[in-house]
Structure 1
């Protein structure tokens, strides 16, 4: 008897049944987004994508093991990593979702996302081992061919001064772990992770502090009201200036406009059609409007705390659209320096990570 019949999907998949299984069981694994990018920072290559795993059967299934094999362009095995159920504290438990009820889909963030700079990644082959309530085991293989992202428009940093990268888009970041299949999010029409490569930037004073007093008021933050600059030349395609700096937004408006999340916000389309987005801006601080032609390093607004914001900071991201199916894109800045105590050095990759303290002139 067949246990699982795999539905075709975007990349490549095979299935192996190791024990007799239930015929009505089906698993579909889809790579999200379709084009998988390699981002490169100072120390590593990062492959940031998701698996949409759908159990179309009526059976409950459990993920027991997930393994990745890395190959070069000659199909030579370079390395292999895995999560499994071995030991007293199994590594598979690092995945927060590993049980699928019948007719359920869940998003799995790629847990094997970081590789050494010298690794010539060509193909990533993932092997999934699922079991059902009868301990019937099924293997599914998915294959991904990631592409190195080549930025076509040079970007400058959108702020000046000393900056804390409060949150970037590493595996633990909330930008990275945006589950667009979560029912409340899905109900607004959002279909992808537009903030996949986003940043939250906070200005610091000379003592590397974010705020004075207790940080209870917007004005306590050293970055509140700081100037925001355009990262490259382009045309303004979205500008919202009406939200108060009260950390609130109307969530229902996301159905019509996903940028409502960011309160006061600017979107600039660049000559390669990529779009830079600047969010949580100060009420009435925008100096540009839709249709304006913008030049690199132009002052466009000030940092605020409008929209879904806990405290004054700049949310910045690159993406390919401003619609509900927008996908995030990497960003490399040509003018950033990493502060390490009393020393600083240029980040030649242009890619910052969570926790970095930067100096921008």
Structure 2
């Protein structure tokens, strides 16, 4: 009799836990954005740059204890499997900045598995919360084809000071962060952006301590259009003072860049050149036709700029819901110390030293 009671008790507990798990699953909403991420080709792999938006609609505390991804080819055959969990003295799950939701909350989780095999056509993510609640999310990325060839926007030796890898500040733009969201942003317009810094022959960025704009070798350098197109936005009146009006972003999402030029190349493909020098694009207006390689401004320090550099990005529009797009450049050299590698067409990465041929 006692044994039978124990069995009934265990069964009741299992049923209760299953009910709790099922209810908890219903209280967790996970979506990914963009809805169909683009596959950016880097070397011999693809790079997936997208975010998960995780929403806890319960009053319970949720903690992400494991995240697994299973990747499949077009025939639904497993190609790769990776995970983050709580194992070890420095658990890999802790590489995700925010893994706990205290009651009703919503936040971004940047995809922590950006590099994928080129054969992959579908990814299945399994989120495990509190060790026993599983929620799945299916991602079907698509290849990105750039219709026009792009030159680099500067014709000199460059350091890719910051690109859009997982650790880049461009990649980690949190549009769900309340102050940013309240300004109207609903996507990551700089998801595939670059900060280019000019180098001299000794690979130095500036003379003295770099305290003055004129100390930097790039300050005042020509900025060139990467391809033919039409100007759809331009600002040239901002001072080179590393400042911008944050509230102005609510009406103009491009105000972040101080002085800028945006060129539309074809439907939903615009190149954006930011932090340009005061009045350096004064000759241009919206509607002007631009030729590939045409000078459109000079490097400055306008807007949110710590030092003279060119912020370059490709995006699908100039509004608050803009999303970034990959960019591939043609005919440049990747400088590897005393060696040089010729690149016919490809991306560049944070830390690369490059030069247009």
Distance 1:56 1:178 in 2: 24
Deviation at 1:271, TM superposition (A): 2.7
Aligned runs of 1:283-294 on 2, under 5 Å?
Answer: 283-286=278-281, 287-294=283-290
Change (3 A) 1:125 1:349: farther
The answer to whether the 8 A contact 2:36-2:139 is kept is no
Query: Aligned to 1:97, what secondary structure does the other structure show?
Result: coil
- Aligned match of 1:296: 292
Distance 2:148 2:285 in 1: 22
Deviation at 1:41, TM superposition (A): 1.6
Query: Aligned to 1:347, what secondary structure does the other structure show?
Result: strand
Change (3 A) 1:101 1:349: farther
Distance 2:208 2:248 in 1: 35
Please identify the structure whose Cα radius of gyration is greater: 2
Deviation at 1:347, TM superposition (A): 2.5
1:34-73 deviations in Å (ceiling 9; x for gaps): 1211001224210110000000111110000000001001
- Aligned match of 2:312: 316
Aligned runs of 1:111-190 on 2, under 5 Å?
Answer: 111-116=112-117, 119-131=118-130, 137-190=132-185
- Aligned match of 2:269: 274
Distance 2:17 2:321 in 1: 38
Aligned runs of 1:32-111 on 2, under 5 Å?
Answer: 32-111=33-112
The answer to whether the 8 A contact 1:41-1:349 is kept is no
The answer to whether the 8 A contact 1:268-1:275 is kept is yes
Deviation at 1:27, TM superposition (A): 0.5
Runs of 5+ in structure 1 lacking a partner?
A: 1-16
- Aligned match of 2:13: none
Distance 2:212 2:317 in 1: 34
1:295-331 deviations in Å (ceiling 9; x for gaps): 1100000000000000000000000000000000000
Aligned runs of 1:125-274 on 2, under 5 Å?
Answer: 125-131=124-130, 137-274=132-269
Deviation at 1:273, TM superposition (A): 3.7
Distance 1:154 1:347 in 2: 13
Deviation at 1:145, TM superposition (A): 0.6
Deviation at 1:20, TM superposition (A): 4.0
Once structures 1 and 2 are overlaid, which stretch shifts more, 309-318 or 25-34? 25-34
Once structures 1 and 2 are overlaid, which stretch shifts more, 217-226 or 25-34? 25-34
The answer to whether the 8 A contact 1:337-1:344 is kept is yes
1:104-136 deviations in Å (ceiling 9; x for gaps): 0010000011124xx4011110001012xxx7x
What is the number of residues matched between the two proteins?
Answer: 339
Distance 1:36 1:329 in 2: 10
Distance 1:88 1:207 in 2: 43
Deviation at 1:342, TM superposition (A): 2.0
- Aligned match of 1:10: none
Query: Aligned to 1:312, what secondary structure does the other structure show?
Result: coil
Distance 1:18 1:220 in 2: 65
- Aligned match of 1:352: 348
Deviation at 1:349, TM superposition (A): 4.1
Query: Aligned to 1:346, what secondary structure does the other structure show?
Result: strand
Distance 2:286 2:175 in 1: 28
| TM-score, normalised by the number of residues in structure 2 | 0.92
1:253-285 deviations in Å (ceiling 9; x for gaps): 000001000000010111344100000000011
Query: Aligned to 2:150, what secondary structure does the other structure show?
Result: coil
The answer to whether the 8 A contact 1:198-1:315 is kept is yes
Distance 2:17 2:192 in 1: 39
Cα RMSD after superposing both structures: 1.4
